[in-house]
Structure 1
Amino acid sequence: MALPRRQRGFNLVELSVVTGIIGLLSALGVGAFELYGQSRDHARAQAELAEARNALRAFLVRNKRLPCPDSSEAAGSSHLGRETPGTGTAVASCPAALRVGWLPYESLGLSLPPLEQRLRYAVYRKAGTDLTRPLPRSAEFTDQDGTAGLLATLADVTAQPGSTGQPYYKVPAGTAFYPADPAGATPACDEAGDTVNPAFALVAPGRDRDGDSASPHPRFDTVNNGFASGSSLCMANPDRPSSFRHDDLVLAESAGTLLGWLTALER
C-alpha cells in the first residue's frame, strides 16, 4: 500500500527569498504611490499658480494696480484672504514695508484654500515706483483711469537695477546652474550672480520631503523658508530644477512682461 506523501514546508533559504520578493514589491508599490502623489501635487500647484497669475493680471487691468499682500497669520485675522488692511479699498493704508504676504484670494475673486496650499505673494514696492499704488502721470489726454500712471510705473521698475531691498531671486553666475547633488543644492541668497526683482511673484509650497519647513508656514522648502515667514525677501529662482531639498514652485512676472502685455491690450 502506498504511503501518503508528506507536505514539505519552506526551508529558511526559500522563506528568505519569498520575504525579500514581497518586501521588494512593497517598496516598489510605496515608491510608485509616492511618485504619483508628488506628480499630483506638482500638477495641482502649477494649475493654482496659473490661476493666480490670471487673477492678478485681471485685477491689474480693472484697478490699474497690483493688490496689497495679505499679511494675516492667524485664522482669526480680520483680513484673512483679503488685501491688508482688510477692506480692499483703502489702498493708501497698505503698510509701506509690506512686500511679501499671502495671496489675497478673496480680493482676487478666488476661493481660499487650506493653509498648507496657500500661495505666498510678493510685489515690487518702492517710493515713486510702488506697483500697489502707481502715481498719476501726465498723458496726451487726462489719465482718468490711471492707465498712464501704471504703464509709466512699470517702465520705471524695468529700468531699476537689481536690489535685495525688493523681493528678489538670484541668477547664478557661470554655466553651472546649481549643484547636481540634491543634498548640496541649497543656494545662498547672497551668492554671486545677478539679482532679479519681479513685478510680482508667487510661491507654491511643495511636499517638503526633507522636513525643512519653518513653522507656522508648512511645506515651504529651504531658501523659501525666510520668504514664507517674512524674514527675507529672497525666493528661489523660478527656473531652478526640482530636487529633494527643493520642490516648491515659483512663478515670477517681470515688469517688462507686464508692460508689453498691457501695451498690447491697449492697442
Structure 2
Amino acid sequence: MRRPPFRQRGFSLVEMGVVMVVVGVIGMVAWRWVATSQAPMTRPEMQRQLNEAQAGVEGFLLANHRLPCAASDTGGTENCGDATAVRFPWRTLGMGSEFAALHYGANRGGGADLAAAPPAQDWPYLGLTFTEVPVFPALSPVPADVSAAGARVGASYAAALARRPLVNGLDWCTVVRRYAANNAAAGVLRAGSAGASVPVGFVIAHPGENRQFDGNNADGASASFRFDLPGRSQDLNYDDLMLAVGPGDLGARLGCAARLSEAQSAIQASYAAYDTARVMQQYWSLLRFDIDQAESAVDGAESGVALAAMGLALATTGAVLSIASAANTEGVTAFIVVMAAVNIAASIAETVLAAQDLTAAQEDLVAARAKLVAGNAYAIHVYNSLADALDNAVVIDQKGLTP
C-alpha cells in the first residue's frame, strides 16, 4: 500500500512579506517615538511650552479666583497643603502630561496667599443701608407706578447685598494689588539668589535641553530660592528657561486696575443716585406739605367767604332796620342813609375780597396738586435710576475678571 507524499507546512513568501512589512512599520513607528521622546526640545518649543503653561495658570485663576497650588509630584495634582511642592499642576489645569517636567511656584504668604480663595471684599461695597429709600410721603393711595419704582429699588438693593459675601475675581484683585503695593511685606515667593532676589506672583521653570534643573532651580536647592530669575546667563552648567510674573504685572495682565475702577465707578454712581433719591424724597415731602397748606388755605378762604356773606347780610339787615326806625321817629335823614350804604358797601367789599381769596386758594391747591403729579413722575425717574445703578454694580460684580 502506497503512502501519500509527505507535505511540510510553513509560511509562504507572500505571508513572510506581509509579516516583514508589518514588523517594519511597527519598528519605524517605535523608532520615531523613541527618537522624538529622547530628542532635545528646541528653544522655541521650550518657550512655547512655558507660554502654554502660563496661559493655563492664568485661565485657572480666571475660573477659580486664585492661583493653583504646586503639585507634590509629576502626577500633576495640586497640593495646597505641601509647602515644599514645586511640580507643575498640569492635571489640575486640564493640560497634558508633557508639562509634568516643569517646576512651578505661587506666592503663598507674606500677607498675600495668591493660591488661596480671597476673602469677600464687599463688592459692590454699599456701606449705606439704603433703609431710607424708598420712603413715600403721605399719599392716599400711593400711585401704582410710584410704588412699582420703589419696589424695584428694594429688589435691586437686595440683589446687591446678596453679592457682597460672594468671592470673585475682583476680590482677588484687591489681594494682589495690596501685595504689589506693600514693598515691606511683598510675599514669600522670590526668584533669584541669596545675594539678589525679587518677589514674584508665580514662576514656572523648564529644565532645558539636559532635562534636569540647574542652579537655584535644582531639586534640593535652598527652600528660600528654588527659582532663578528669568534671563540668567546660559552656560554648560545652566540651561534652564524661566518665566516669572510679578504681582503688579499679574494684576495688569488680568486687567485688575480697569475692572476695579469700573466696579468703583458703578458703586459711586449708586451713591450719587441714592443721594439724589434722598433729596427727591425731601422735595416730595415738601410738595405734599404744600398741598396740605393749600387745602388748609381753601378751608380758611371758604370760612372767610361764609363770614363775609354773613357780615353782608347783617349789614343789610342793620341798614334796613336803622332806616325804618328813623322813619318812625325823627325821620329819615341823609346821614342815616349814607351810613347804611357805607356799611353795606363795606360788607360787599369784604365778601368780594373773601371770594377772591377763595379763588386764589383754590388755584394754589390745583397748582400744588399738579406739582405733586410732576413730582411723582420725577420720583419714578429717580428710583429707576437708582435701581439701574445698583443693577449695573451687580452685573460688574458678577462679571468679575471674565473677559
TM-score range, shorter chain: 0.5 to 0.7
Q: Which has the larger radius of gyration?
A: 2
Secondary structure of the equivalent of 1:107?
coil
Match of 1:233 in 2: 224
Cα distance change on mapping 1:51 and 1:162 into 2, 3 Å: farther
Secondary structure of the equivalent of 1:101?
coil
Match of 1:190 in 2: 194
Cα distance change on mapping 1:164 and 1:149 into 2, 3 Å: closer
In structure 2, how many angstroms separate the alpha carbons of the residues matched to 1:249 and 1:119? Answer: 10
Post-superposition shift, 1:221? 1.0
Cα distance change on mapping 1:120 and 1:242 into 2, 3 Å: same
Cα distance change on mapping 1:236 and 1:157 into 2, 3 Å: same
Match of 1:136 in 2: 120
Q: 1:220 aligns with which of 213, 218, 225?
A: 213
User: Are 2:249 and 1:261 aligned?
Assistant: no
Note the alpha carbon deviations across 1:50-90, whole angstroms, 9 max, x for none.
000001111111110011110136xxxxxx21111xxxxxx
Q: TM-score, normalised by structure 1?
A: 0.60
1:113 is aligned with what amino acid?
A: E
User: Are 2:237 and 1:245 aligned?
Assistant: yes
Secondary structure of the equivalent of 2:104?
strand
The answer to whether the 8 Å contact 1:100/1:167 transfers is: no
Q: 2:190 aligns with which of 156, 160, 168?
A: 168
Match of 1:47 in 2: 48
In structure 2, how many angstroms separate the alpha carbons of the residues matched to 1:219 and 1:82? Answer: 21
2:246 is aligned with what amino acid?
A: S
In structure 2, how many angstroms separate the alpha carbons of the residues matched to 1:50 and 1:83? Answer: 19
In structure 1, how many angstroms separate the alpha carbons of the residues matched to 2:178 and 2:213? Answer: 32
The answer to whether the 8 Å contact 1:100/1:230 transfers is: no
1:138 is aligned with what amino acid?
A: D
In structure 2, how many angstroms separate the alpha carbons of the residues matched to 1:164 and 1:145? Answer: 23
**Structure 1: tracts of 5 or more residues without a match:** 1-36, 74-79, 85-93, 171-188, 209-217
User: Are 2:98 and 1:113 aligned?
Assistant: yes
In structure 2, how many angstroms separate the alpha carbons of the residues matched to 1:167 and 1:127? Answer: 9
Greater strand content: 1
Post-superposition shift, 1:236? 1.3
1:198 is aligned with what amino acid?
A: V
In structure 1, how many angstroms separate the alpha carbons of the residues matched to 2:59 and 2:237? Answer: 34
Greater helix content: 2
Q: TM-score, normalised by structure 2?
A: 0.41
Match of 2:25 in 1: none
**Structure 2: tracts of 5 or more residues without a match:** 1-38, 126-162, 263-403
Secondary structure of the equivalent of 2:86?
strand
Cα distance change on mapping 1:262 and 1:114 into 2, 3 Å: closer
The answer to whether the 8 Å contact 2:200/2:245 transfers is: yes
Identity of aligned residues (%): 25
In structure 2, how many angstroms separate the alpha carbons of the residues matched to 1:253 and 1:64? Answer: 17
Match of 1:9 in 2: none
In structure 1, how many angstroms separate the alpha carbons of the residues matched to 2:238 and 2:186? Answer: 21
1:82 is aligned with what amino acid?
A: T
In structure 2, how many angstroms separate the alpha carbons of the residues matched to 1:46 and 1:154? Answer: 26
Cα distance change on mapping 1:44 and 1:83 into 2, 3 Å: same
- In the alignment of these two chains, the number of paired residues is 181
